[in-house]
Structure 1
Amino acid sequence: MERPKHRAAIIGTGGIAHRHAQALADLGDRAELVAVAEIDPDRAAAFAEEHSVANVYGSAEELLANERLDLVHVCTPPKTHAPLAIAAMKAGVPVLVEKPTALSLSEMDAMAAVQEETGVPTLTVFQHRYGSAAVRLRRLIQAGVLGRPLVAVCETLWYRDDAYFAVPWRGSWEAEGGGPTMGHGIHQFDLLLSVLGPWAEIRAAAGRLSRPTDTEDVSMALARFADGTLATVVNSVVSPRETSRLRFDFEHATVEVEHLYGYSDEHWRFTPAPGHERLADLWVNDADAPPSGHRLQIEAILDAFDAGTEPGVSLADARRTLEFAAATYASAFRGRPVLAGEIAGQDPFTRGMDGGAVPWAPSLKTLLEKDVNA
């Protein structure tokens, strides 16, 4: 049976939008990029010409009102993610949002309420879940052949210089939601969570050590998972030798990956424990497997649409990852452990990742003194 060609549109034409457009093009007859919305007319025209997009709109509202769409991709700065996703759901269009899905848990809950009301899904770009090696690892865990997970290490050690933060929305709690915990390491610890499942407790530290930001530039967390697994999670934008690393130590094997912005099977290593050498036969790298990236996740979404099943990554899944980030900040700034589910209701960390408790932020007294002396 011939599968339908899905009509897609992109809102926002910054750097990440080009990856979405290329992914849609790589899917050939599965999808067609029919429209784009961008407030900058020159940038919109250049993007449309580069990717052969027929229809260009100056606003998301105009696009949603005039196009029949199967999926809309939100590729705008983080502050706009939740409002645009809500607008798309109310227009009846499934939406794929770049990370982070929202700037706070309360925004996530507002989105979930609209999703419940409309029956239209919002999905989040966490493409590293879809690489073939990650899929293989989860399959082996489900089969029980690796034994219990015991220890994990998750490191996003990246480098962003001061000029990177000259873009107005970067490094701001209000516009970006946080530093590398929200904007960089979130991909790696989302993959960690997709492998290990629910987390139970976080003890964390964070600091603004070098960069000209309001947010942190380094955070570290020690996480205990529901099954007892212990994991360390490090997020940094001050590390000159960049790497992204995940390591899982199971009873019967160690499975690890080291890459930068996307992995292939060749980046993974499998080490069986003594006495379990035959497990290596279950880990066979696929040299032809495409690298983890937007194409694999978008293809999986379209497959789910065609099959009538639930596509990923759902709002519920994405909320668990965002709660991990919120708990990292809450633990770091309050100086105590934070339990899963603890950040709820009127807790300041539900309304913003800074929780009004950033230790290096200027105090109200300092701000008033500056106003008086100005």
Structure 2
Amino acid sequence: MSNPVRIGVLGCGRVAQRYLEVFRDELAGEAQVVACADLVPEKAERFAAALGARVVNGLDGLAAAEPDLVCVLTESGNHAKHVLALIERGVNVVVEKPVALRPEDALAMRDAAATRGLICAVVKQNRYNPAMRFVRGAVEEGRFGRIVLAGVRVHWCRTQAYYDDPWHGRWSMDGGVLAQQAIHHLDALQWVAGPVEAVCAAGQAVLNSLEAEDTAVAAVRFASGAMGTIEATTSARPRDFEASLHLVGEKALAKIGGIALNRIETWEPVDAHPGDADVPALHSQEVPTGYGLGHGPYLRGVLETLRQGRTDVPVGVDEGMKSLRLLHALYTSMERGGWVSLADAPVSARLGL
């Protein structure tokens, strides 16, 4: 596949603007958006005009445009339906977070893609942040020793207007701050600190009016024996001001901060190595929004997998399901009260229903 990869885009709303920037500014020459579709024609027309693509009518229109890959950027509650429909039409897909709202739907997506020999990639762009990669590498090298404590904080701002659309904050289509915003950070927490064994969570709508929660907290027990915390809200005012991860080990302290896990704010090992003083400068980046700058490197990896005729994308459904299963454990804990073990494969009685 020597020519640019032909891209279709399903859904031209909020997150699609980040994809527009990536395809226009970072992947020009590697990928070409040939078609896009949205239920709101004006959104599709603006997106298409910016990239020289054409507007098509829904899933059939996208498939008829013969894309090599379609980016599914629709509402969370529609991810499974749209991905499965595209796979049935023989199309490779990349789906935004969360992979799906129900674990059984995610498994159906994985199996359908495998049966047809197609790609089903799940976006986890923060794994491509230099700060995240440094800390994960330090964990793998043993520089933290035994991890004692790990946690994430997401202090972002979404006003009531955000929740007044037809789907945000609703159990059937979205969930709350944990499912929509902090899902990135649930992934990041396990990616650097290892799998979670059990959680005890609480959440509620504090400032905004929505079915699900705009604020949540949780205690976490990791399989390694480490403890942790999750703290997330969209009731920060007046702006997004923090999305951070901290890690306490017997041999080092680290904190990744900024608004998108984009800056090394603390790196203090017990035993210093040459270059440790330069870590914050070398592995931090400035970002314009909470989306960060990881979409481009992630999508480039997917394109390379596609060009090589492989399906083992950088983050597939199984990896994407790690944060989904943690999410369901958190919601199950809220519903039942008390600690919930992930070994029991808990499934929320509300999310996605």
For normalisation by structure 2, the TM-score amounts to 0.90
User: CA shift at 1:31, angstroms?
Assistant: 0.9
Structure-2 residue corresponding to 1:319 = 321
Structure 1 residues 59 and 201, CA gap change in structure 2 (3 angstroms): same
The whole-number CA distance in structure 1 between the counterparts of 2:333 and 2:70 is: 35
Shift of residue 296 of structure 1?
Answer: 1.7
For this pair of structures, how many residues does the alignment match? Answer: 344
- Structure 1 residue 42: Cα displacement: 2.9
Q: 2:136–2:192: 8 Å Cα contact kept in structure 1?
A: yes
Q: Aligned match of 2:345 in 343, 346, 351?
A: 343
Q: Report the equivalent of 2:290.
A: none
Distance 1:296 1:289, change over 3 A: farther
Q: 1:263 to 1:217 in 2, by over 3 A?
A: closer
Q: How does 1:180-259 map to 2 (within 5 A)?
A: 180-240=177-237, 242-259=241-258
* Dislocated runs of 4+, deviation >6 Å: 287-290
2:301 aligned partner, one-letter code: A
CA drift at 1:72: 0.7
Give the aligned partner of residue 8 of structure 1.
7
Larger helix share, 1 or 2: 1
SS in 2 for 1:129: helix
- Report the alpha carbon displacement of residue 99 of structure 1 after superposing the two structures with TM: 1.3
Runs of at least 5 residues in structure 2 that lack an aligned partner in the other structure: 288-292
Deviations 1:249-287 (A, max 9, x none): 122211212111x354xx213432444465726836337
Question: What is the alpha-carbon distance in structure 2 between the residues aligned to residue 94 and residue 84 of structure 1?
Answer: 12
Select 2:264's aligned residue among 265, 268, 282: 268
Identity of aligned residues (%): 26
For residue 329 of structure 1, the aligned residue among 308, 328, 331 is 331
State the secondary structure of the residue aligned to 1:328: helix
Who is 1:62 aligned against?
A: 61
Give 1:74 deviation, angstroms.
Answer: 0.8
Closer, same or farther: CA 130–227 of 1 in aligned 2, 3 Å: same
State the AA in 1 paired with 2:22.
A
Contact in 1 for aligned 2:173/2:352 (Cα 8 Å):
no
SS at the partner of 1:283?
Answer: helix
Q: Partner residue of 1:169?
A: 167
Query: What is residue 301 of structure 1 aligned with on the other side?
Result: 302
For 1:7-156, what aligned pairs fall within 5 Å after superposition? 7-25=6-24, 26-53=26-53, 55-64=54-63, 66-156=64-154
Aligned Cα root-mean-square deviation (Å) = 2.4
Q: Which runs of 5+ in 1 are unaligned?
A: 356-374
Asked if the contact 1:329/1:354 (under 8 Å) is kept, the reply is no
Displacement after TM superposition at 1:110 (Å):
2.1
Question: Structure 2 vs 1, CA of residues 287 and 341 (structure 1 numbering), >3 Å: closer, same or farther?
Answer: closer
Q: Which is further off, 130-139 or 79-88?
A: 130-139
Q: Report the CA distance shift for 1:118/1:282 in structure 2 as closer, same or farther (over 3 A).
A: farther
Q: Conserved in 2, the CA contact under 8 Å of 1:123 and 1:315?
A: yes
Secondary structure, in 3 states, of the residue corresponding to 2:150? strand
Deviations 1:316-340 (A, max 9, x none): 1111101111100111120121111
Matched residues in 1 for 2:165 and 2:282: separation?
39
Distance 2:272 2:2 in 1: 44
Give 1:354 deviation, angstroms.
7.6
SS in structure 1 of the partner of residue 229 of structure 2 = strand
